[in-house]
Amino acid sequence: MSRILDSLPVLYRDLFPDFFRKEIPVETKATCASCAMCQSSGQGTVESVDGVSRLFRPDTKCCTYYPKLPNYLVGALLSDERDELGEGRRRMGEKIASRVGVTPQWVRPSARYNLLYRNSRQFFGRAASMRCPYYELEQGGCTIWPYREAVCSTFYCKYVAGADGRKFWMTLKTYLALAEIQLSRYAVLQLMPEFILAGKDKPDLSETPTVEDLDDKPLAEKEYAALWSRWAGREGEFYRGCFDIVRGLSAEQMEKIMGLDGVIELKVLEKSHRDAVAPALPKVLKLNPEATVKWLPDGNVALGAYSEYDAVALPGIAYGLLVEFTGREPVEAVRQHLRQEKQADLHEDILLELYRHRILMEA
């Protein structure tokens, strides 16, 4: 077991509530160093769905996502002089110099990348053109990992707690995303209040990129100067200042910055954490009619439901037992029937695992 905080940037350890010191299972199924999604067998991966491959490229893995980094995490990276982050600092410097997606609140992907990402999710993990610019190809790792954002902190291809585990990490992502929005706004308010007062921190809801966006062109000089005001040309200094402001906050100040939305999201997160670490087997179960069933050459069967990336392999004979779970009788009645009529049984631990993967679902 590890603490929730252990999965997040160190910056948050003195800011987040005590809840984040609770333990969570280590996601041992999502093996980044030897990517489980790049394996051809034996990793519980649904290799194809409707003839479309679900395996990842070894030179991208799941890093076909371009993170949207809040100003204070950019500043934290630029302020960290450790040699192992030299490449990350260099790449961030190039990104800032490009002026594409560089704002006082965020360093984000271009509108062109976002357009492609929204419309090419089926190529996630498989399109080299969508590879993260902070991904180091030779070593196969992230160059800015200590300062990763909400999505990169919470994404796993497989979860030891199945659907409940995925829900926990998704709700954690929501909480982290809220923290990134509020903290980045707070930092800008201290250094460039006119940016906030003019409403420039509001999300751009426009879905139609311009011709310049499609060509990844930076803002015009005059427009960029107006965006950055007196900080134009000193963006790195500005981001480092944002980092200094955020790391100087107390937990009490953080709570006020998060506001009522933070209180609500924390309650949701606490509930999903309980479901992930202490699951209860429902009294009545039925075989999920939408579960994928793939018979393997060795006679086993791979069953998937909650995720296209995660499957459970069972002996073929076990599938004949699962169809007895119709949702019309309690679990114990079905097990008793299997023992009497088929001289077989499915242990409660197996049933719980199948439920967590939603192969069996609550009736």
Count Cβ atoms within 10 A of the Cβ of residue 91 and give its class: 0-12 exposed, 13-18 middle, 19 or more buried: middle
Look at residues 254, 277, 300 and tell me which one is the last residue of a structural domain.
Answer: 277
pLDDT at 205: 67
Q: Are residues 117 and 152 in the same domain?
A: yes
What tens-digit pLDDT sequence spans the chain (363 residues)? 899 999 999 999 999 999 999 999 899 999 888 898 986 544 555 555 444 567 899 999 999 999 999 999 999 999 999 999 999 999 999 999 999 999 999 999 999 999 999 988 788 999 999 999 999 998 879 999 999 999 999 999 999 999 999 999 999 999 999 999 999 999 999 999 999 999 999 887 666 788 988 999 999 999 999 999 999 999 999 999 999 999 999 999 999 999 999 999 999 999 999 999 999 999 999 999 999 999 999 999 999 999 989 999 999 999 999 999 999 999 999 999 999 999 999 999 999 999 999 999 999
At residue 331, the 3 state secondary structure works out as helix
Give the three-state DSSP class for 195. Answer: helix
3-state helix, strand, coil in the chain (%, to 5): 50, 10, 40
Alpha-carbon distance 132 to 58, whole Å?
A: 14
At residue 95, what are phi and psi to the nearest 5 degrees?
Answer: -65, -45
Same domain, 234 and 331: no
Secondary structure (DSSP) of 28-73: TT--STT-GGG-SSSS----EETTEE-PPPTTTTT------EEHHH
Distance CA 10, CA 16 (A): 11
Q: Do both 180 and 141 map to the same domain?
A: yes
Burial of 255 per CB tally in 10 Å (0-12, 13-18, 19+): middle
- 291 and 272, same structural domain? no
φ, ψ at 60 (rounded to 5°): -130, -35
Nearest Cα residue to 266 out of 179, 182, 175: 175
Residues 270 and 212 in one domain: yes
Cα–Cα distance, 93 to 144 (Å, whole number): 12
Place of tokens 């029937």: 337
H runs (alpha helix) in the chain: 71-79, 86-98, 111-118, 150-154, 162-191, 193-197, 211-214, 221-228, 235-247, 251-277, 316-322, 331-341, 348-356
Predicted pLDDT at 49: 47
Residue 41 confidence (pLDDT): 41
Together in a domain, 106 and 166: yes
pLDDT at 210: 86
The answer to whether residues 272 and 329 belong to one domain is: no
Closest C-alpha among 316, 280, 26 to residue 158: 26
pLDDT at residue 116 in the model: 92
| Cβ-based neighbour number of residue 122 at 10 Å | 12
Beta carbons of 120 and 40 less than 8 angstroms apart: no
Quick one: 302 and 202 in the same domain?
A: no
Closest by alpha carbon to 253, among 180, 186, 173?
186
Same domain, 255 and 106: yes
Taking only Cα atoms into account, the Rg of the chain, rounded to an integer number of angstroms, comes to 24
Domain span including residue 197: 2-277
CA distance linking residue 115 with residue 207, whole number of Å:
8
Cα distance from N-terminal residue to C-terminal residue, the chain = 31
What does each C-alpha distance from 208 to 115, 122, 203 come to in angstroms? 9, 21, 14
Same domain as 212, residue 84: yes
Residues 253 and 161 in one domain: yes
Structure-token pair, residue 10: 């160190």
Read off the amino acid at residue 162: G
Q: Residue 290 sits in a domain of what CATH number? A: 3.90.930
Dist. CA 209–CA 362, nearest whole Å: 44
Count of domains for the chain? 2
Give the end of a domain, one of 260, 277, 294: 277
Token match 């039925």: residue?
A: 286
Question: What pLDDT does 1 receive?
Answer: 80
Distance of CA 114 to the CA centre of its chain: 16
One domain, residues 173 and 307: no
> Which of 226, 254, 277 is the C-terminal boundary of a domain?
277
Please count the CA atoms within 13 angstroms of the CA of 232 that sit on its side-chain side. 12
